[in-house]
Amino acid sequence: MVRTLIAGNWKMNGLRASLQNVALVSDQLARLPDEADCLICPPATLIREMAGLAGPRLHVGGQSCHPGQSGAHTGDISAQMLADAGASHVIVGHSERRADHGETNDDVAAQVIAVQQAGLTPIVCVGESLAQRRAGETLRVVADQLAGSIPDDAADLPQLVVAYEPIWAIGTGEVAQPDQIAEVHHHIRSVLTDRFGPEAGQIRLLYGGSMTPENAGMILKIPDVNGGLVGGASLKAESFMAIYRAALGLD
Ligand code: PGA
């Protein structure tokens, strides 16, 4: 049985004052059954302090990393540095990184290796644009991204996480329909199983894109959905924890 993961992606949001949310999240986690994992990926500036406040049930992650370990890369952060700051996971290949920084599948694959070498868990993001969906290319685009962004020698498959985030559903309030989510998640699982064998059944598949407390319960019931990557609704402890509670089947 794959453990559900509810992951918050704060994107470029959050100052130290926002860490008051973390105390609330840890406090609530301590009072809920330990039946699903919980992670917040804040901006890199907050990782260290968040990790100090997180308590035993809340994991802290990075939002991207450079594939190298160190060197002349002004402004970049390595996976090893994220680990050193207290991160346990790193989001790689988010569509905003692919769009804003021109990250390619090859770049993402190199990041996956760096993240695993640093002993951290990569969360590899894939997802189609609206134009690609309208052109009927969703399944091909997602399969290409999986093929290119996950290296053949990806180690420790149970520790790999894939997030399906249709670009048109990110931050738009437009959530994918249950049949659309079910179709793509089933496709991702079969592509990964064809490539890696039955062990791919342990790779956690998250859905991301306008997940809220209102739709989380429905989304998390869809087969092959093993959790959520939550942007806007992760910024406030109340809505983030409502999604976590939905993952536990509460409320
Ligand atoms: P959203 O973002 O929940 O605000 O749509 C999700 C994401 O990009 O990870």
Q: What digits encode the pLDDT tens for the residues 55-72?
A: 999 999 999 999 999 999
Residue 203 CA to ligand 1 center (angstroms) comes to 20
Residue 25 CA to ligand 1 center (angstroms) comes to 19
Q: Which of 211, 214, 235, 239 most suits a substitution to test ligand 1, by most atoms within 8 Å of the C-beta?
A: 211
The per-residue pLDDT for 226 is 98
Q: Is 9 in the pocket of ligand 1 (CB under 6 A)?
A: yes
Residue owning the nearest CA to atom 7 of ligand 1: 231
Q: Helix, strand, or coil here: 201?
A: helix
- C-alpha distances (whole Å) from 184 to each of 27, 66, 217, 228 are 35, 29, 18, 14
Give tens-digit pLDDT for 73-113.
999 999 999 999 999 999 999 999 999 999 999 999 999 99
Average pLDDT value for the chain: 96
Domains of the chain: which residue ranges?
Answer: 4-247
| Closest ligand 1 atom, residue 230 Cα | 3
The per-residue pLDDT for 157 is 84
* Average confidence (pLDDT) over 6-19: 97
| Closest ligand 1 atom, residue 91 Cα | 9
Q: What are phi and psi of 158, to 5 degrees?
A: -60, -20
Q: Is the pLDDT of residue 155 over 80?
A: no
| Closest ligand 1 atom, residue 229 Cα | 9
* 136 Rama class: left (phi>0) / alpha (psi -120 to 50) / beta: left
Residue 71 CA to ligand 1 center (angstroms) comes to 31
Q: Is the pLDDT of residue 122 over 90?
A: yes
Q: Which CATH class name applies to 4-247? A: alpha beta
Residue 232 CA to ligand 1 center (angstroms) comes to 6
**Which one has a higher pLDDT value, 232 or 154?**
232
Contacting residues for 136 by C-beta, under 8 A, at least 6 apart: none
* Average confidence (pLDDT) over 159-176: 94
> pLDDT-derived band of residue 158, with 50, 70 and 90 as boundaries?
confident
List, by residue number, the catalytic residues: 94, 165
The per-residue pLDDT for 175 is 87
The per-residue pLDDT for 227 is 98
Q: Is the pLDDT of residue 251 over 80?
A: no
Predicted model pTM: 0.97
In a 13 Å sphere around the CA of 81, the CA atoms on its Cβ side amount to 15
Report the 3 state secondary structure along the chain.
CCCEEEEEECCCCCCHHHHHHHHHHHHHHHCCCCCEEEEEECCHHHHHHHHHHCCCCEEEEECCCECCCCCCCCCCCEHHHHHHHCCCEEEECCHHHHHHHCCCHHHHHHHHHHHHHCCCEEEEEECCCHHHHHCCCHHHHHHHHHHHHCCCCCCCHHHCEEEECCHHHCCCCCCCCHHHHHHHHHHHHHHHHHHHCHHHHHCEEEEECCCCHHHHHHHHCCCCCCEEEECHHHCCHHHHHHHHHHHCCCC
| Closest ligand 1 atom, residue 232 Cα | 4
